[in-house]
Amino acid sequence: MDLPIIFYEDRNFQGRSYETSNDCAELTSYLSRCSSCKVESGCFMVYERPNYMGHQVLVKRGEYPDNQRLMGISMSDCIRSSRMIPIHRGQFRMRIYERENFGGQMHELVEDCDSLQERYRLSDCQSAHVMDGHWLMYEQPHYRGRMVYLRPGEYRSMRDMGLGPLDMRIGSIRRIMDLC
């Protein structure tokens, strides 16, 4: 049976490996480092820090021989945690708010939004409530820049999303559906 994701200690799928189809809050429990990966099936978010924190990137079926290029940052060439994104077949629904703790303007999304500024005249999104589906928020319009994965739940402050010292504005939002 093929497992969805395989992590390798070294670049180009070398060194010890760890296979899983579940979330992993701390990959260094299994490997001394993780410098490449292969996704056999499905979608995963991979994170530069333990406990699903720091810079994050969506990976889908394919091979990723060099995590430094994958993560797009030079300060870390290792994946430290990963989260499986389950397939969602129902409706998508999320509310976004201009301010923390669900304050200010509120807009309900049921489809992708390539520019929050153009569609809603919303210059910032500081909190969100995901009712249905799994979503990606992007720092720039047209689904570019750093991203944040949101699964169903309440997010009272985007600063608490595990991004660390990064101050990220949200420019666009996309549903995770046929991406995997």
pTM equals: 0.89
| Rounded Cα gap, residues 11 and 163, in angstroms | 25
Check residue 1 and give its pLDDT: 47
Higher pLDDT, 100 or 180: 100
Among residues of the chain, what percentage have pLDDT more than 90? 70
User: Rounded mean pLDDT of 157-178?
Assistant: 77
| Rounded Cα gap, residues 95 and 100, in angstroms | 13
Question: Does the pLDDT of residue 164 top 70, yes or no?
Answer: no
Of 10, 26, 5, the C-alpha closest to 18 is 5
Exposed, middle or buried: residue 160 (CB in 10 Å: 0-12, 13-18, 19+)? exposed
Structural domain spans, the chain: 5-85, 93-175
Matching fold, domains 5-85 and 93-175:
yes
Check residue 163 and give its pLDDT: 56
What's the mean pLDDT when you consider all of the chain? 89
Question: CATH assignment of 5-85?
Answer: 2.60.20.10
| Rounded Cα gap, residues 116 and 122, in angstroms | 6
For the stretch 104-113, pLDDT in tens is: 999 999 999 9
**pLDDT-derived band at 78, boundaries 50, 70, 90:** confident
Exposed, middle or buried: residue 125 (CB in 10 Å: 0-12, 13-18, 19+)? buried
Check residue 100 and give its pLDDT: 93
Does 93-175 carry CATH code 2.60.20.10?
A: yes
For the stretch 22-73, pLDDT in tens is: 999 999 999 999 999 999 988 999 998 899 988 899 999 999 998 777 766 5
Sheet holding 93-99, edge to edge: 103-109, 93-99, 127-132, 153-155
Check residue 167 and give its pLDDT: 65
Check residue 77 and give its pLDDT: 62
